Amino acid sequence: MSSTTTINPANGKEIAVYKRINADVIKSKIAQAGKTFTAWKKISYTERAVFMHELANIFEKNKNDYALLITTEMGKTLEQAKKEVEKCALVCRYYADNTASILKDQNVVTEASKSYVTYQPIGVVLAVMPWNFPFYQVIRFAAPAIMAGNTGILKHASNVQGCGFALEDAFAKAGFPPGIFTNLNVESDDIKEIIEDKNIVAVTLTGSDSTGRSVASIAGQNLKKTVMELGGSDAYIILEDADLDKAAEMATLGRLQNNGQTCIAAKRFIVLEEIYDKFLKLFAQKMKAAKMGDPTAADTFYGPMARKDLREELHKQVKKTIKQGGKLILGGEIPEGDSSYYPATVIADVKPGMTGFDEELFGPVACVIKATDEADAIALANQSQFGLGSGVFTGNKERGESVARQLEAGSSFVNKLVVSDPRLPFGGVKNSGYGRELSGYGIKEFVNIKSIWID
């Protein structure tokens, strides 16, 4: 039987080896999830909420241990890992407290004596999840799906299997019945067979657009509902009336948070020409000052990339962009050693047609783009195959709101970096996917929205 080995990206050392499961075990575990669903769907929201609150308690009580596991497996700073675990607890409590009201029956006035819309769970939901937020991405799907009455199967990224099993254990410790949440340590090649399993009714995926196309195609052939949260190349517009020091500081945080490996991270910075040189200088200074190092150290601003192969791909994109005419201002060199570090990198004068403009650069690399005016900045922001997040920095909130409404993305923030919040829907347009996570919109993705008519 094959296995997967997790590697610490900060030093290149082996962490643990996890055995893959075979086809028979896969079927057995999915069947258990299906069996559990038949009982779980009959339990009230109030009863489900008790388990979900206890899961939140477990996240809070074990925050430090979970954070260290996250940091060790994928390299984000320990402080950011702690915040990730805290956010898991926040999402659990949000759905524990709000599902009953979100999914309450909706009366509709018709010719019937009584007619209404009711929301019913649909079954076992498969989640194909990435490594960059190994706890939060999973809970973002699991908390609403399970509170709605479904059960969940997780196919987690191979390099964070420890996180996958820790989550499975947390659900068990919270008292959820066996089969409510199951982590399957399987190969990517096994996904097709899993989707085709009769017990699987829907699939949610967070990952690259290429992976999304593949999984959505298989699910479509089997007429199974999907939600896709895919890549992003988020544009942040810097207008001439913005506080440039604050904008540069936020841009640095936006580009280096999670070691630059965030779908909704700021990636393309579109700056009006009259402030372009000043902003670029400030931005480069702040990016240079950000400390790269041991992700467990308190003074580290950003740590290593999650894997060496990801770093190699990023470096190729950087070199292509420079060859195409981009001006390297900072970084752009792979450090020596067995780790997966990549330095904060700034590329200026990036234009449409260049790799840094057209593709997602998933790492600590920022592309700075010059715009002639506000209209040009908006056009450049929208000239992308992606549409996940976006932002604008300006001294005029009304102007910022006007620009935000014109940006083609699932989220547009003014004078703040894009974040996901359980109270607001999260997702994208174009090649960034479809469907929504979080809020009432997210929990309704995996329910049967059913009409009842009584004559």
**What whole-number distance in Å separates Cα of residue 384 and Cα of residue 273?**
20
Cβ of 240: how many Cβ atoms within 10 Å?
Answer: 16
Q: Are residues 152 and 239 in the same domain?
A: no
Domain-embedded: residue 30:
yes
Total domains, the chain: 2
Q: Are residues 220 and 314 in the same domain?
A: no
Q: Which two tokens stand for residue 158?
A: 């191979």
Domain-embedded: residue 157:
yes
Q: Could you say which of 229, 360, 374, 437 is catalytic?
A: 229
Backbone angles phi, psi at 123, to 5 degrees: 140, -140
Contact of 151 with 33, CB cutoff 8 Å: yes
Domain-embedded: residue 193:
yes
Domain-embedded: residue 420:
no
Q: Are residues 88 and 199 in the same domain?
A: yes
Q: Are residues 339 and 215 in the same domain?
A: no
Q: Which two tokens stand for residue 6?
A: 């997790």
Q: Which domain holds residue 397?
A: 234-414
**What whole-number distance in Å separates Cα of residue 414 and Cα of residue 393?**
6
Q: Could you say which of 88, 163, 263, 367 is catalytic?
A: 263
Domain-embedded: residue 56:
yes
Q: Are residues 253 and 223 in the same domain?
A: no
* Residue 229 annotated to the active site: yes
Domain-embedded: residue 407:
yes
Q: Are residues 125 and 261 in the same domain?
A: no
* Residue 263 annotated to the active site: yes
Q: What CATH number did the domain enclosing 381 receive?
A: 3.40.309.10
Q: Are residues 155 and 131 in the same domain?
A: yes
Q: Are residues 13 and 48 in the same domain?
A: yes
Contact of 361 with 231, CB cutoff 8 Å: no
Q: Cα–Cα distances in Å, from 412 out to 131, 170, 235, 417, 442? A: 25, 34, 10, 9, 18
pTM of the model: 0.97
Domain-embedded: residue 423:
no
Query: pLDDT per position in the chain (455 positions), as tens?
Result: 699 999 999 999 999 999 999 999 999 999 999 999 999 999 999 999 999 999 999 999 999 999 999 999 999 999 999 999 999 999 999 999 999 999 999 999 999 999 999 999 999 999 999 999 999 999 999 999 999 999 999 999 999 999 999 999 999 999 999 999 999 999 999 999 999 999 999 999 999 999 999 999 999 999 999 999 999 999 999 999 999 999 999 999 999 999 999 999 999 999 999 999 999 999 999 999 999 999 999 999 999 999 999 999 999 999 999 999 999 999 999 999 999 999 999 999 999 999 999 999 999 999 999 999 999 999 999 999 999 999 999 999 999 999 999 999 999 999 999 999 999 999 999 999 999 999 999 999 999 999 999 99
Q: What CATH number did the domain enclosing 167 receive?
A: 3.40.605.10
Q: Are residues 171 and 239 in the same domain?
A: no
Q: Are residues 446 and 388 in the same domain?
A: no
